[in-house]
Amino acid sequence: MDLGGTAMPAGRYAPSPSGDLHVGNLRTAVLAWLFARTTDRAFFIRMEDLDRTAVGSDRGQLADLAALGLDWDPPVIYQSHRLASYRSVIDGLRDQGRTFECFCTRREILEAPSAPHAPQGAYPGTCRDLTEAERADRRRSRPPAIRIRADVDHFTVDDILHGPYTAMVDDFVIQRNDGTPAYNLAVVVDDAAQGVDQVVRGGDLLSSAPRQAYLAALLGHRQPTYAHVPMVLNDNRIRLSKRDGAVTLTDLAENGVSAAQVLSHIAQSLWLAEDGESVDLAALAERFQPDALPKEPWILTDAEWR
């Protein structure tokens, strides 16, 4: 499959097509576009549709991005069309002895004794060294997930906004027990295939970056440059979601707020526009300086649109 990879470096925005994008999603998309376009990178859109999706939401999301003025390099990639590529990588890791079958449930992992100082939920290694007879016995009652056999405990990434960031790397899942490739594998395989060397996304995903960078190194890929940007929170300081009311372009349009006004509010939250100033992406690109971005979350309240 042609992934649209180019000879030039690239950035990307990778939404899950499970519904309309809210203002927090749109803000991250704007930042991903700015980071890419102001560094002469290609910019790709990739639909991460391996989990629950909503029919037609991919088209709606693309329309919303275009309404803000974003452009991207074709084609739009769908992870559900790339299952053979993921399975080929998983098979290759298995053939190298870098994986093992795991039969643990989430509850069993949470309740298992863990190594000292390991965070809650870190995989305790329960199935790492099962014999073939033990694996065969467990397969009769439960299909296995596939985990990477990590040979490090921690890994460090460099983030444009956070600096060096080190976090634990355990034997994380690369294929779920229903056969679906896991996010941590799919995102690494896709970034490498598209030539993505700049990953801009929400700050809530910073903790997963060391695992992904470790897997990229294991597969012989170059570690991308990361920028995990501040989140958008509601007035209770909880991550913004569609449950917070009028936070999608469709909802805001019904309240008389245009896409251009939404972009201007996003720009103001990034200190790239004055209050009430009308801007477009070309103007933002001229003003964009990553080291001048706010480091704290944007608290979005109903008063924002008045």
Cα–Cα distance for residue pair 225/173, rounded to 1 Å: 23
Whether residue 233 is contained in a domain is answered as: no
Give per-residue pLDDT as tens, 116-136. 556 767 899 999 999 999 999
Pull the structure tokens for residue 50.
């391996």
Domain co-membership, 110 together with 184: yes
Domain co-membership, 31 together with 98: no
Q: What is the mean pLDDT of residues 43-54?
A: 95
Q: What is the mean pLDDT of residues 28-38?
A: 98
Domain co-membership, 94 together with 188: yes
**CATH at residue 250:** 3.40.50.620
Whether residue 114 is contained in a domain is answered as: yes
| Residue 115 binned pLDDT confidence (cut-offs 50, 70, 90) | low
pLDDT given at position 244: 75
pLDDT given at position 235: 87
Whether residue 276 is contained in a domain is answered as: yes
Domain boundary among 176, 194, 212: 194
Whether residue 223 is contained in a domain is answered as: no
Domain co-membership, 124 together with 155: yes
Domain co-membership, 93 together with 188: yes
Whether residue 94 is contained in a domain is answered as: yes
Domain co-membership, 43 together with 59: yes
Residue 306 has pLDDT above 70, yes or no: no
Instruction: Count CB neighbours of 186 within 10 A.
Output: 24
More confident residue, 41 or 121: 41
Q: What is the mean pLDDT of residues 56-82?
A: 98
Domain that holds residue 73: 10-80+246-305
Domain boundary among 172, 194, 216: 194
Give per-residue pLDDT as tens, 249-262. 999 999 999 999 99
Whether residue 38 is contained in a domain is answered as: yes
pLDDT given at position 302: 72
What order do you get walking across the sheet with 77-78 strand by strand?
A: 77-78, 42-47, 10-13, 196-202, 225-229, 154-159, 163-168
Give me the number of domains the chain comprises. Answer: 2
- What is the pTM (predicted TM-score) of this model? 0.94
| Average pLDDT of every residue of the chain | 93
Domain co-membership, 87 together with 76: no
Whether residue 141 is contained in a domain is answered as: yes
Domain co-membership, 93 together with 131: yes
Task: Output the 3-class SS for the chain.
Answer: CCCCCCCCCEEEECCCCCCCCEHHHHHHHHHHHHHHHCCCCEEEEEECCCCCCCCCHHHHHHHHHHHCCCCCCCCCEEHHHCHHHHHHHHHHHHHCCCEEEECCCHHHHHHCCCCCCCCCCCCCCCCCCCCHHHHHHHHCCCCCEEEECCCCCEEEEEECCCEEEEEECCCCEEECCCCCECHHHHHHHHHHHHCEEEEEEEHHHHHHHHHHHHHHHHCCCCCCEEEEECCEECCCCCECCHHHCCCEHHHHHHCCCCHHHHHHHHHHHCCCCCCCCCCCHHHHHHHCCHHHCCCCCEECCHHHHC
| Residue 114 binned pLDDT confidence (cut-offs 50, 70, 90) | low
| Residue 142 binned pLDDT confidence (cut-offs 50, 70, 90) | very high
Domain co-membership, 132 together with 58: no
For the chain, percent of residues with pLDDT exceeding 90: 84
| Residue 297 binned pLDDT confidence (cut-offs 50, 70, 90) | very high
| Residue 283 binned pLDDT confidence (cut-offs 50, 70, 90) | very high
Whether residue 257 is contained in a domain is answered as: yes
Domain co-membership, 74 together with 140: no
Give per-residue pLDDT as tens, 215-231. 999 999 999 999 999 99
Contact in structure between 188 and 161 (CB atoms under 8 Å): no
pLDDT given at position 116: 57
Domain co-membership, 115 together with 176: yes
Residue 138 has pLDDT above 80, yes or no: yes
Domain co-membership, 93 together with 150: yes
Residue 6 has pLDDT above 90, yes or no: no
pLDDT given at position 111: 86
